[in-house]
């Protein structure tokens, strides 16, 4: 009986090695046919069950992982916060009739919901204060690009998160040769240097010079007279925007208030009156499937704050991450993280680290990642639906994808592909990613 078992194991080993050798050759063939240099490509593929390497190319090369980094930063963050965690904004009062808004950095809080909280206040409170201490006031990540300042995908983040930290601007054309009208959809103190003209076609730029006047936008170019343009940009001063919306709500409910909101910390003298909250499950979907940068950064800081029982910060989030990796015996000596979202090119990752991380958190992470046809994979590799669960990442010159895949032979793998190449187009990089993944799917 023992001889039969040993023979079976030997045969299994031979067949498996042969299959892996064939897969390695096929992946090498795909990469060789690409116009992208091998030196710019990093790949790691490992067997899901055994953890053994099936294919590797430059797997120890440090590359910016783009948004695939969200996998390794927010997974321990979500686990630290727990499935029952809720983003909460709370209203307290004390015996002196002082009211205190305790902010929770809720990325889903809206001005309409803030108005609901204000309804619980009396007509003449002694004072209205704010406690923003849940996370620190560093509202952008290290190494974020200044020219992304107006990107709606890169809003600042803080305790004062409100209305997705975005504001809408309307540009209304006039008659040809004259300047259009520019205004915000919702009242917010912002200045416009309007150098635009109404002309035959729409072609304009918007700039902001933070070092001169952060709430001034400079508009250059032309707009067609046929229709108005609506532009969504990040709010530059979140504290100012939050306090403006709070004042609007207070005025709306005829509450007497000076409009000056001191910052104080919650203490034992205050009693909870009411709160508004949002479930963390929304954040998981938006981070893993929709790659929301602001939510990823907020969650990371909140988890760091909970982990250290103090104000959330990137520093505390990183301590949480490092300890998580130590507990799961994941070596972090070859990587560097400088933000939670992967936006910064100062981040350095290896595909070998990514696949090792996926193996260690497989039960938690895999169900959260989008399959083909969902989120950032909504238009990619649809023929692999339910067999592929992966997170994508894109920056200038960089494309990446990391996840789990089940082949047609029902063999399961973890994989990570990162391509850092300035000469190839984004579509060429993504095409090579798909060819590699398709090879794993069909030949693995």
Q: Is residue 75 part of a domain?
A: yes
Q: Is residue 379 part of a domain?
A: yes
Predicted local distance difference test score (pLDDT) of residue 12: 47
Is the pLDDT at 17 greater than 80? The verdict is: no
Indicate the pLDDT class of residue 145, thresholds 50, 70 and 90: confident
Predicted local distance difference test score (pLDDT) of residue 3: 55
CATH number reported for the structural domain that contains residue 291 in this entry: 3.40.710.10
pLDDT digits (tens, 9 = 90+) for 216-275: 999 999 999 999 999 999 999 999 999 999 999 999 999 999 889 999 999 999 999 999
Quickly count: other Cβ atoms within 10 Å of residue 406's Cβ: 18
Q: What is the average pLDDT across 26-35? A: 93
Q: Whose structure tokens read 């309007």?
A: 194
Q: Is residue 392 part of a domain?
A: yes
Lowest-pLDDT range, 60-64, 92-96, 144-148, 205-209?
144-148
Q: Is residue 2 part of a domain?
A: no
* Number of domains the chain is built from: 1
Q: Is residue 140 part of a domain?
A: no
Mean confidence (pLDDT) of the chain? 93
Degrees to nearest 5, angle at CA 406 with 29 and 61? 50
| Residues 370-379: contacts with CB under 8 Å, at least 24 apart | 370/288, 370/289, 374/289, 375/288, 375/289, 375/290, 375/291, 376/67, 376/289, 376/290, 376/291
Is the pLDDT at 294 greater than 90? The verdict is: yes
Q: Is residue 396 part of a domain?
A: yes
Q: Whose structure tokens read 């997974």?
A: 75
Predicted local distance difference test score (pLDDT) of residue 2: 58
CA 115/CA 425 separation, integer angstroms? 47
Q: Is residue 355 part of a domain?
A: yes
pLDDT digits (tens, 9 = 90+) for 106-136: 999 999 999 999 999 999 999 999 999 999 9
Burial code (b: 16+ CB inside 10 Å, e: under 16) for 75-105 equals bbbbebbeeebebbbbbbbeeeebbbbbbbb
Indicate the pLDDT class of residue 4, thresholds 50, 70 and 90: low
Predicted local distance difference test score (pLDDT) of residue 238: 96
Is the pLDDT at 6 greater than 80? The verdict is: no
Q: Is residue 371 part of a domain?
A: yes
Which residue range is the domain that position 435 belongs to? 20-81+283-443
């Amino acid at each position: 009986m023992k001889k039969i078992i040993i023979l079976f194991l030997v045969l299994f080993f031979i067949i498996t090695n042969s299959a892996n050798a064939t897969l390695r050759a096929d992946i090498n063939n795909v990469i060789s046919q690409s116009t992208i240099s091998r030196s710019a490509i990093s790949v790691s593929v490992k067997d899901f069950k055994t953890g053994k390497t099936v294919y590797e190319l430059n797997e120890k090369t440090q590359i910016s992982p783009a948004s695939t980094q969200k996998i390794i930063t927010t997974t321990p963050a979500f686990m630290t916060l727990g499935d029952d965690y809720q983003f909460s904004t709370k209203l307290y009062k004390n015996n002196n009739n002082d009211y205190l808004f305790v902010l929770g950095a809720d990325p889903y809080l809206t001005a309409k919901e803030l108005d609901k909280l204000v309804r619980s206040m009396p007509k003449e409170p002694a004072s209205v204060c704010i406690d923003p201490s849940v996370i620190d006031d560093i509202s952008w990540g290290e190494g974020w690009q200044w020219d992304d300042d107006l990107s709606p995908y890169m809003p600042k983040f803080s305790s004062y998160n409100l209305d997705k930290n975005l504001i809408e601007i309307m540009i209304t054309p006039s008659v040809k040769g004259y300047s259009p009208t520019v205004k915000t959809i919702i009242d917010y103190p912002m200045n416009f240097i309007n150098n635009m003209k109404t002309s035959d076609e729409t072609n304009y730029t918007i700039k902001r010079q933070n070092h001169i006047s952060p709430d001034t936008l400079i508009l250059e170019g032309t707009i067609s007279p046929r229709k108005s343009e609506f532009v969504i940009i990040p709010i530059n001063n979140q504290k100012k925007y939050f306090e403006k919306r709070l004042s609007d709500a207070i005025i709306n409910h005829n509450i007497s208030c000076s409009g000056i909101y001191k910052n104080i910390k919650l203490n034992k003298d205050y009693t909870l009156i009411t709160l508004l909250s949002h479930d963390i499950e929304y954040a998981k979907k938006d981070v893993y499937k929709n790659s929301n940068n602001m939510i990823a950064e907020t969650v990371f800081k909140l988890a760091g704050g909970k982990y250290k029982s103090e104000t959330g910060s990137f520093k505390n989030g990183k301590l949480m991450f490092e300890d998580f990796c130590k507990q799961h015996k994941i070596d972090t000596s070859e990587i560097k993280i400088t933000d939670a979202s992967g936006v910064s090119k100062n981040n350095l990752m290896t595909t070998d680290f990514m696949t090792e991380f996926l193996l260690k958190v497989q039960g938690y992470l895999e169900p959260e990642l989008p399959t083909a046809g969902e989120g950032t994979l909504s238009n990619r590799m649809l023929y692999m639906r339910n067999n592929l669960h992966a997170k994508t990442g894109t920056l200038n010159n960089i494309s990446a994808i990391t996840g789990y895949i089940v082949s047609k032979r029902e063999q399961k793998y973890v994989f990570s592909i990162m391509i850092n190449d300035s000469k190839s187009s984004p579509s060429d990089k993504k095409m090579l990613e798909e060819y590699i993944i398709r090879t794993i799917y069909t030949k693995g």
